[in-house]
């Protein structure tokens, strides 16, 4: 059973930082870094730009596995994103590294499986806080962003809807000084 959204919100309130001018570094993580996480990176960057927060945030994405290292995002992900004004064409897949837990403030897993893997990989003295990306999405009653890779193009559209909701919530938390 999913926790009520108010409980989901309380989960990331603990990430609060008093330094409102500090740059916040966010890493989005999925399996191969060609569908969900690069989409989240591209959407988050664009929405941050539109909100005038580009100077306050830095975003990157990575995969838990190295299947697609060096490859661009899936053409279907790029196509759906482009239809909404997001450009993913400059992104290149990479694998998450232990050092990422020191370089980033937030490591956001696209699903609970990624969260478990990242929990095992995170050094005990890691700086980054690990969360599920969908903890930031209001009005979405799921913790996981589904993997659209093996499905129809419509799955990429659904994932993009979810990612937009998560990115908007994440930016709201930043604007409100909760991150």
Residues 85, 46 contacting (CB under 8 angstroms): yes
Residues 107, 123 contacting (CB under 8 angstroms): no
Residues 166, 92 contacting (CB under 8 angstroms): no
Tokens coding 57: 């945030």
The rounded distance, in Å, linking the Cα atoms of 19 and 38 is 28
| CA distances in angstroms from 111 to 54, 82, 108, 115, listed in the order given | 26, 24, 9, 6
Catalytic positions, written as ranges: 30, 36, 147
Task: Name beta bridge partners: 106.
Answer: 26, 129
């Amino acid at each position: 059973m999913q926790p009520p959204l108010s409980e989901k919100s309380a989960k990331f309130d603990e990430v609060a930082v008093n330094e409102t001018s500090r740059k916040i570094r966010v890493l989005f993580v999925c399996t191969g870094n060609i569908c969900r996480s690069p989409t989240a990176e591209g959407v988050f960057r664009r929405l941050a730009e539109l909100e005038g927060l580009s100077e306050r945030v830095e975003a990157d994405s990575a995969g838990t596995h190295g299947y697609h290292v060096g490859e661009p995002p899936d053409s279907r992900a790029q196509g759906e994103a482009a239809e909404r004004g997001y450009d993913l064409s400059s992104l290149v897949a990479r694998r998450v590294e232990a050092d990422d837990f020191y370089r980033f403030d937030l490591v956001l897993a696209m699903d609970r499986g990624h969260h478990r893997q990242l929990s095992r990989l995170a050094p005990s003295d890691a700086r980054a806080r690990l969360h599920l990306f969908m903890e930031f999405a209001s009005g979405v009653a799921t913790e996981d962003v589904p993997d659209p890779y093996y499905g129809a193009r419509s799955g990429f559209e659904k994932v993009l809807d979810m990612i937009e909701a998560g990115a908007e919530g994440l930016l709201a938390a930043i604007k409100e000084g909760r991150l």
